[in-house]
Amino acid sequence: MRSEFIRPCSGGIAIITNNVPNPSDLSIIEKYFKSVEGINSNDIPSPRLPQSKSYLKITGLPYLRADGNKITSENVIEFMKHIDLFEDISLATKPRIIKASPKSDMAIIWFDIWDTQNGSKAKLLINHSFNLGRHIATVRATNMNPGVSQCHNCWKWGHSTYSCRAHGSQCQKCNGPHKLEHHRDLAWCCKANPKLNPPRLETAQGLPCPHSFKCINCKGDHMADDYKCPFWRNRFNKDWHLKKAQEARETRANSIRLAIGGRKS
């Protein structure tokens, strides 16, 4: 992973990276900032991924380039670098391009950006136009998220953070009732327990939790928001997610049936 640039943003700094950082990337960033001379390392909060994504689309551009080939995600990323309107945004995923309609020669370009919770970055783009060659393109808001969303409150898939019905935040590492940045201080696994054999030592202040938990979605050996998770890799595959949700419902129904059956006998 590479940091593309670093700039101040409301209440902190934003680090733009060429990829979605995983927890160990985040801890490298944290260690770096804590080691800067003249800085009180307690003043440095844990880095976290931006809280929200905004979903946008670009209309008004042709589906085929001048050379007759289809416009690609790379073309879109490239022209965005040269247009002032997109100067301050960071793409959350590769842009996706479809034909405006089957017989149309125009494209619709879907793209997601990292945004603040209230979507302030999207607001600066929506309904703004820009020139590309002889074309005038416009950025539009879209409610249609072509992917499946992951809740940043309970870390389950299929609903947005705003519509989560869980009470309070859950930790994407241990599923405990706290935010990840408070995991070290609140989770049982990082507390000393002299009664255990061998006794468990407290995790040193400032170090990430070394304990492993199973992902709440796939039971794999990673955090619930890890890009290695099959749920994340299939985030644009709605059928895959529907099938998984159906399987989870069946497993739940079965275990309830077993529990009721067990009580009767």
Task: Provide φ and ψ at 104, rounded to 5°.
Answer: -85, 155
List all residues 6 or more positions away from 39 whose beta carbon is below 8 Å from its beta carbon: 33
Q: Give the C-alpha separation, 233 to 227, whole Å.
A: 7
Q: How far is CA 102 from the centre of its chain?
A: 31
Is residue 216 near Zn ion by the rule CB under 5 A?
no
Is residue 209 near Zn ion by the rule CB under 5 A?
yes
The upper half-sphere exposure of residue 250, i.e. CA atoms within 13 Å in the direction of its Cβ, equals 6
Q: Which stretch binds Zn ion (CB under 5 A): 27-35, 77-85, 206-214, 244-252?
A: 206-214
Q: Which is nearer to Zn ion, 107 or 154 (CB)?
A: 154
Which residue among 113, 151, 170, 241 contacts Zn ion (CB under 5 A)? 151
Quote the least distance from Cβ 17 to Zn ion, whole Å: 21
Q: Which of residues 5-24 bind Zn ion (CB under 5 A)?
A: none
Mapped onto helix, strand or coil, the DSSP state of residue 248 is helix
Is residue 174 near Zn ion by the rule CB under 5 A?
yes
List all residues 6 or more positions away from 206 whose beta carbon is below 8 Å from its beta carbon: 34, 41
What token pair was written down for 151? 């809740």
Which residue among 173, 235, 241, 244 contacts Zn ion (CB under 5 A)? 173
Quote the least distance from Cβ 181 to Zn ion, whole Å: 10
Q: Are 11 and 48 in contact (CB under 8 A)?
A: no
Q: Which is nearer to Zn ion, 82 or 214 (CB)?
A: 214
Is residue 220 near Zn ion by the rule CB under 5 A?
yes
Closest CA to 184 of 215, 208, 213: 208
Helix (H) or strand (E) holding 59: strand 52-62
Q: Which stretch binds Zn ion (CB under 5 A): 25-33, 98-106, 170-178, 191-199?
A: 170-178
How many residues form the binding site for Zn ion (CB under 5 A)?
Answer: 20
Quote the least distance from Cβ 234 to Zn ion, whole Å: 11
Q: By CB under 5 A, name the binding residues for Zn ion.
A: 151, 153-154, 164, 166, 171, 173-174, 176, 183, 187, 189-190, 209, 211, 215, 217-218, 220, 229
